[in-house]
């Protein structure tokens, strides 16, 4: 059988044998709900194969053999469902079978997973489905094949009797989103033991159609929307617990390749959370991207007439699945993650005077605001990130959010904003993204790409502004160009100025202010260079030591201070130690 034929067979895998498994697993009282989010499992015990690596082997293999030809988002949904089902079986019986009585992990003669199947597993690494703090047993079947002409009119992907159902498994599929089945009203699929509205069994939240999921993926829906469509709009997608040490890799929460990911919500959906936005404000995909083929354009229309206090606009770019029950930004609409490493995104703009912050919601009910950073208006991509483990990066979320000024400052008391206040000023619990907040006082075009979560992020090297792992003169160029921007704050006082340049040059790089050549001393060669470019636009090597873009008397004064001095060969460790906390602040 060809790989394509094998893949197609995988899309149509008949799972009627799960009836036997369901009768054993879900007989009343035979299995109890798992009332916690499990710890990450390094391996899954597969009958006949032993312990295989969960993320790099088991999940991509099941994705391939169960639904290999599906669209990209459907593959991600399959990865989450397969992982959830495996975790449930491991919790209940300590192993999982290879075959349709559990999940197909491997079948001889059908090839091996392709890169897209590994990518689907990596893109959802560690993610499972829970409801009401209970681990769900994520049933799925092949289901009927919906088409534009055969689905129920007005629905997203609900098949009809005219839809092709080659495996006769459509009868097990649940359309909980279409039916509005929430909470105790969702009694699950007849494929497993079902509760009742008065005696619910939260483990069974329904059954996903693999063919329906594929259709939804081709229609632009995300994997989170697919999962909520079949298992319930009120399910929670969350990553299993990593413990105190991160084991999962950096991942893009939204890369905007083909769809808008978590950030596809109408900017006016949460109108009370915005301030002074005009009707021209919009969010759309664009070919302008940092990586890949697409990013997102935030076109902000500032309504000056509505800005009676003169403090500018607030644009809340809320995160969340579009098919969630809660408003975008709420926990149930997003993925819950461990508070490890960094969270952030890449942006670029040419609009001056903009600031950005990140809001998160903690599982315990608290909400936190990040420090406010100035957007660099140079038309280049820049990373804006915060450490989830550094309390200085977070403040108790106030109502209103913040004054709008950047400089690495804390939220303040400016524009009125109705986001619920709360929090402790530190990320102390598992969390989900609430929103990205942008403020300004003019129309703005902002490009967004690669909203990321990096649980293994380590503290950056002080002064390494381009994140290449070393402190070089390229970083000095960025510091000089970024004067006044809090992203280039070296000494921790909230801005970037001559003090930061001096600390970088003499405290971190081991040089001297005024040394145009960085040859270890300030001498006639440096004075001659400065004299040659005096009164002209220039860079460090021309004698512009304070980053104001011109070589003038201010620079001559800096050079004169160190004339005939020799640099210390190594950075002054005492200075670095003294300023250690400030230097390790996240950018």
- What pLDDT is recorded for position 24? 35
581: number of Cβ within 10 Å: 11
Strand order in the sheet with 127-131: 134-135, 127-131, 236-239, 335-336
Cα–Cα distance, 544 to 533 (Å, whole number)? 9
What is the reported pTM? Answer: 0.79
Token pair 């989103």 in the structure block, residue = 177
Asked if 567 and 520 touch (Cβ cutoff 8 Å), the reply is yes
Among 205, 193, 213, CA closest to 145: 213
373: number of Cβ within 10 Å: 27
Burial annotation 497-512 (CB, 10 A radius, 16+ → b, else e): beebbbbbbbbbbbbb
- What pLDDT is recorded for position 35? 44
- What pLDDT is recorded for position 326? 64
- The architecture CATH gives domain 262-454: Sandwich (2.60)
- What pLDDT is recorded for position 406? 41
Token pair 């799972």 in the structure block, residue = 15
Among 512, 513, 543, 549, CA closest to 528: 543
Collapsed DSSP state (helix, strand, coil) of residue 535: coil
**Exposure of 161 by Cβ count < 10 A (0-12 exposed, 13-18 middle, 19+ buried)?**
exposed
In CATH terms, the fold of domain 473-583 is: Type 1 dockerin domain (1.10.1330)
DSSP label of 561: H
Asked if 513 and 562 touch (Cβ cutoff 8 Å), the reply is yes
Q: Tell me the mean pLDDT per 10 residues along the chain, length 587.
A: 32 36 36 64 97 98 97 97 97 95 95 97 97 95 96 96 96 96 96 93 97 96 96 95 90 89 80 84 95 95 92 93 78 93 97 95 88 93 92 72 42 38 75 95 97 88 84 94 87 89 94 96 97 96 96 97 84 40 39
- What pLDDT is recorded for position 573? 38
Map out the domains of the chain as residue ranges. Answer: 3-239, 262-454, 473-583
211: number of Cβ within 10 Å: 29
- What pLDDT is recorded for position 365? 83
Show contacts of 179-182: CB within 8 Å, 24+ apart.
181/232, 182/232, 182/233, 182/234, 182/325
| CA dihedral (251, 255, 260, 263) positive or negative | positive
- What pLDDT is recorded for position 1? 28
Asked if 224 and 322 touch (Cβ cutoff 8 Å), the reply is no
């Amino acid at each position: 059988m060809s790989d394509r034929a094998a893949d197609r067979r995988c899309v149509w895998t008949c799972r009627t044998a799960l009836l036997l498994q369901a009768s054993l697993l879900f007989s009343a009282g035979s299995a109890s709900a798992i009332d916690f989010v499990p710890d990450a499992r390094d391996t899954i015990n597969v009958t006949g194969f032993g312990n295989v690596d969960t993320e790099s082997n088991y999940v991509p293999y099941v994705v391939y053999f169960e639904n290999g030809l599906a669209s990209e988002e459907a593959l991600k949904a399959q990865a989450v469902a397969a992982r959830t089902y495996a975790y449930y079986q491991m919790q209940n019986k300590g192993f999982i079978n290879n075959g349709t009585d559990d999940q197909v992990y491997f079948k001889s003669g059908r090839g091996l997973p392709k890169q897209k199947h590994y990518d689907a597993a990596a893109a959802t690494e560690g993610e499972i489905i829970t409801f009401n703090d209970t681990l769900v047993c994520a049933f799925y079947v092949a289901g009927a094949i919906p088409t534009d002409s055969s689905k129920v009119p007005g629905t997203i992907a609900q098949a009809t009797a005219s839809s092709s159902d080659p495996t006769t498994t459509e009868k097990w599929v649940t359309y909980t989103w279409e039916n509005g089945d929430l909470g105790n009203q969702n009694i699950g699929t007849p494929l497993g033991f079902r509760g009742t509205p008065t005696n619910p069994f939260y483990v069974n939240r329904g059954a996903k159609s693999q063919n329906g999921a594929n259709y939804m993926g081709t229609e632009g829906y995300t994997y989170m929307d697919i999962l909520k469509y079949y298992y319930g709009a009120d399910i929670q997608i969350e990553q299993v617990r990593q413990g105190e040490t991160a084991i999962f890799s950096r991942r893009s929460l939204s890369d905007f390749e083909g769809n808008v990911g978590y950030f596809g919500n109408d900017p006016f959906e949460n109108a009370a959370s915005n301030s002074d936005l005009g009707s021209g404000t919009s969010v759309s995909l664009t070919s302008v991207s940092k990586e890949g083929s697409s990013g997102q354009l935030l076109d902000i229309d500032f309504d000056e007439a509505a800005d009676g206090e003169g403090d500018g606009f607030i644009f809340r770019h809320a995160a969340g699945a579009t098919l969630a029950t809660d408003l975008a930004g709420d926990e149930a609409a997003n993925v819950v993650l461990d508070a490890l490493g960094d969270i952030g995104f890449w942006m670029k703009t040419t609009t001056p005077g903009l600031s950005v912050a990140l809001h998160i919601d903690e599982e315990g009910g608290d909400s936190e605001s990040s420090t406010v950073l100035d957007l660099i208006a140079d038309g280049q991509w820049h990373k804006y990130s915060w450490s989830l483990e550094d309390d200085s990066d977070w403040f108790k979320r106030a109502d209103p959010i913040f004054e709008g000024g950047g400089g690495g400052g804390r939220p303040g008391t400016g524009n009125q904003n109705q986001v619920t206040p709360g929090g402790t000023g530190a990320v102390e619990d598992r969390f989900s993204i609430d929103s990205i907040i942008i403020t300004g006082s003019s129309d703005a075009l902002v490009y967004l790409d690669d909203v990321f979560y990096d649980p293994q992020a380590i503290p950056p090297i002080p002064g390494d502004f381009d994140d290449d792992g070393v402190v070089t003169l390229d970083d000095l160029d960025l510091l000089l160009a970024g004067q006044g921007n809090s992203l280039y704050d070296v000494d921790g006082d909230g801005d970037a100025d001559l003090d930061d340049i001096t600390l970088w040059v003499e405290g971190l790089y081991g040089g001297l202010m005024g040394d145009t050549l960085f040859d270890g001393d300030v001498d006639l060669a440096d004075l001659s260079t400065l004299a040659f470019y005096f009164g002209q636009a220039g860079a460090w090597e021309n004698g512009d030591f304070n980053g104001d873009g011109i070589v003038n008397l201010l620079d001559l004064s800096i050079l004169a201070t160190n004339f005939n001095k020799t640099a210390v060969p190594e950075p002054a460790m005492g200075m670095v130690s003294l300023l250690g906390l400030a230097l390790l602040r996240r950018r």
